[in-house]
Structure 1
Amino acid sequence: MEESVTNPTETALLQPGTLWAKTTQQTQYARECGALKSIETEYQLIQQNDISFVVRSLSSLARKEQARKKQTETEHKIGKEIDPFLPYEPELFVGDISPSHICLLNKFNVVDNHLLIVTRDFEEQTDLLNLEDFAALWCCLQEIDGLAFYNGGKTAGASQRHKHLQLIPLPFLPNVVHLPINNAIANVNFENVFGRIASFPFCHAIASLALSSSRSPKAAAKILLQHYHALLNLVGFKIDSTTVNQRQPGAYNCLITRNWMLIVPRSQESFQHIPINSLGFAGSLFVRDRTSLKLLKDLTPIRLLQNVAISDEDFAARENSNQID
C-alpha cells in the first residue's frame, strides 16, 4: 500500500491569527534567556533621489563576527560544515508554518521580531525558490505586513547555506520611515505588471502584485512563483518553469511585500568593505564604523548599490551573447 503524500501548499500548520503573538512572546523569552543576540545600532537618514536611505552603524557587530569565527573554527576541527538550522536552537523556534517550513527568530537581529522562514530539510540557498517556499512565505505575510527577502547565494549576502527566506515587520522605523523605497516604487510605471525603478541605474525588474491578504497560500504561491520566474527571465536568468529544484544561474536578491516583488542580479558581495544584502535595495544599509560611513556618504548609496549590482550594459552584452549562441 502506497503512503499518501500531502501537498505542502494545501496544508498550513500555522493557526491563523497567531504568528505575531508567537513572535513577540518568543522574542521576549529568547532575549531573557540569552539566545537572542541583538546587534545594537545607531542610524541616520541619507536622502538620495526619491529614497530616504536608512544607514545603520553596527556598534556591536563584533558579537556576530566572533560567533561566525567560532563556527568556522569548529567546522575545521570536525571536518564538516555546521548547519545552525539542523538542529535549530529551541529558544529561537516561533512555530511550524507548513509540512516543509518552520519559523525561527533571527539570532543576530538588528530589527526587532526579525523572522527566518526555513526549510525543514536541508536545501541549498542557491536553489531557486519553489511553490512550497512561496506558500510558507504567504502564510507569514498574511499575518505580518512586512518586507520579505531572499539572498540568493553568498555573493548576494547569504551567510548560511541552508535555504531560508527572511521577514522584517514594517515599519522600518516607527514614526520615521515606513519602508525607505516606498516613494521610488510609487513612481514606477508598471506596464503589463512589470516595471523598473527610475532611481536604480543597474539591471533589475519589479512586478506589481494584486494579492489580497485573504487569498489562500496555495493560490498565492502559484501567482508569486509565476511572477518570480518572469522577473528572473527579465533580468537575464533563463528559467525553465517546468523544471523542479533548479539551481540558480547567478546570484541575485529578491524582495517581496504584499504589493510588489523586486529582483536584482548581483556581481559582488561588498564594495569597499561595505557588505550589501537584499536590504540595501530596500534602502537599508549597514556600516561598521565612522570611516565606512564617511566613505558611503562620499560615494552615495545608489552608487554603492550600482557597484555590487550588474550594469545595464553588461546585461545587454549578456543578452546579445545569448542570442548569438
Structure 2
Amino acid sequence: MNTRTEPLRPQELWSRTLDTTGQGLTTGALQPIATECRVLEHQGVDFQVRVLGRAHLKEDRARREPPRAQPFNPFEHPDPHLVVGPLTPTHVCLLNKFNVVEHHLLIVTRVFEEQESWLTAADFEALALCMSGLDGLGFYNSGEAAGASQRHKHLQLIPPLGPEGLRVPMEALLTPPPPRGQVLELPALGFAHRVTGLGPWEDSPSRDGARMLDAYRALMAAADMHTTPPPPYNLLTTRDWMLLAPRSRAESHGINVNAMGFAGSLLVKTTEQCEHLRQLGPMELLARVTRP
C-alpha cells in the first residue's frame, strides 16, 4: 500500500507504477479486463481493436451494483492499493482499477470538480509532471458523449501502444507534428478534429504545462468551443502534439468510443462487432461520432 505524502518526482513515476500494480494485483484492488487484441489496417493506421471475451461479459453483468441514491465516486476516497502517489497540491495519481491497457494511470483532482469543466493550468501541470516520467499518451474525455464514465475530473495517461516506436497507432499520420502555435486540420485524418504542435519538451512541469494549456485553448477556440461547460470533446496529447476531437455522440453501431479511439485503439464487446468494424472501417466509425 502506498502511504507516501511527499509529491512524486518524474523519475520515480514508473517504478512507483510498477510497485503499485504488483500490490493491486496481489490484493485484488486492481482488476484488469482481459481482451484479445487484433489489428485492423485502415487509411494508413494499424488500429488496435481489443475484443472482450464472453466470460468477461458474464462477469460484468454479475458484478453490477444496484442503483444508488447518490452515484458512487471512486475518486473521493480512492482505494489506497491503487494510489501511485501525490503529484501536486491539487492532484493525485491512481491506477485505473478496471484497466484494458496495462499501467493505465489516472491524474485526479483532490477536490471534486466536474469532468465537463474546462481544463486548467493545474490540470496540465500535473499531467506534464507524469508525462516527464512516462512518454506516452495523455488524454481527457469531457462529457458522457465523449466516453466519460465518472463525473469527478480526471485526466489519463497510458504507456506507448506502438507499433514500431509510435506512442499510438494514429501517430503514423501525425509525424512530424505541426509547428507550435499552428492549428491545423489534417486531410489524412478522416474525422472532425484540430491538431497543433507543442514544441520541444523541457521536463519542467510548470513550463510544459503552460505550453499545453496554451495549445488546449487554441484548439478549443479553433473548434468554436467557447461555452461553459464546453460541448463534449476528447483531448489527446503527447510531448510533441495535441489533438482535439469535438463529439456528437458516444457510440455508433453499438461501439462506444472514447479518446483512445482517436489514438487508434478501440474496444468492442464481441467478435461480431469486430467484424462489423472491419467492414465499416475504424476511421469511418470515428467520423460518425465526431461533430460535423
TM-score above 0.5, yes or no: yes
Pair 1:179-2:173 in alignment: no
Q: What TM-score, normalized by structure 2, do the two folds share?
A: 0.92
Q: Partners in 1 of 2:81 and 2:178 — Cα distance?
A: 45
- 1:20–1:144 CA contact under 8 A, matched in 2: yes
Change (3 A) 1:64 1:248: farther
Change (3 A) 1:298 1:92: same
- Which residue in the other structure is 2:3 paired with? none
Give the match's secondary structure for 1:294. helix
Aligned pair count? Answer: 285
- Which residue in the other structure is 2:242 paired with? 261
Runs of 4+ in structure 1 off by over 6 angstroms are: none
- Which residue in the other structure is 1:136 paired with? 126
Give the match's secondary structure for 2:51. strand
- Which residue in the other structure is 1:38 paired with? 32
Q: Partners in 1 of 2:138 and 2:221 — Cα distance?
A: 21
Pair 1:13-2:1 in alignment: no
Give the match's secondary structure for 1:47. strand
CA RMSD after TM alignment: 1.9
How many Å apart are 1:47 and its aligned residue?
1.0
Q: Partners in 1 of 2:62 and 2:143 — Cα distance?
A: 22
Change (3 A) 1:263 1:175: closer
Pair 1:236-2:217 in alignment: no
Match of 1:120 among 110, 114, 126: 110
Pair 1:110-2:81 in alignment: no
- 1:39–1:61 CA contact under 8 A, matched in 2: no
How many Å apart are 1:213 and its aligned residue?
3.7
Change (3 A) 1:47 1:283: same
- 1:189–1:196 CA contact under 8 A, matched in 2: no
Change (3 A) 1:162 1:61: farther
Q: Partners in 2 of 1:253 and 1:269 — Cα distance?
A: 11
Pair 1:83-2:73 in alignment: yes
- Which residue in the other structure is 1:155 paired with? 145
Give the match's secondary structure for 1:161. coil
Give the match's secondary structure for 1:268. coil
- Which residue in the other structure is 1:50 paired with? 44
- Which residue in the other structure is 1:28 paired with? 22
Change (3 A) 1:167 1:234: same
The structure number with the bigger radius of gyration is 1
Match of 1:210 among 199, 209, 216: 199
Give the match's secondary structure for 1:112. coil
Structure 2 residue ranges without an equivalent (≥5): 1-5
Deviations 1:46-68 (A, max 9, x none): 1111211111102225545554x
- 2:180–2:197 CA contact under 8 A, matched in 1: no
Change (3 A) 1:63 1:228: farther
Structure 1 residue ranges without an equivalent (≥5): 1-11, 240-246, 312-325
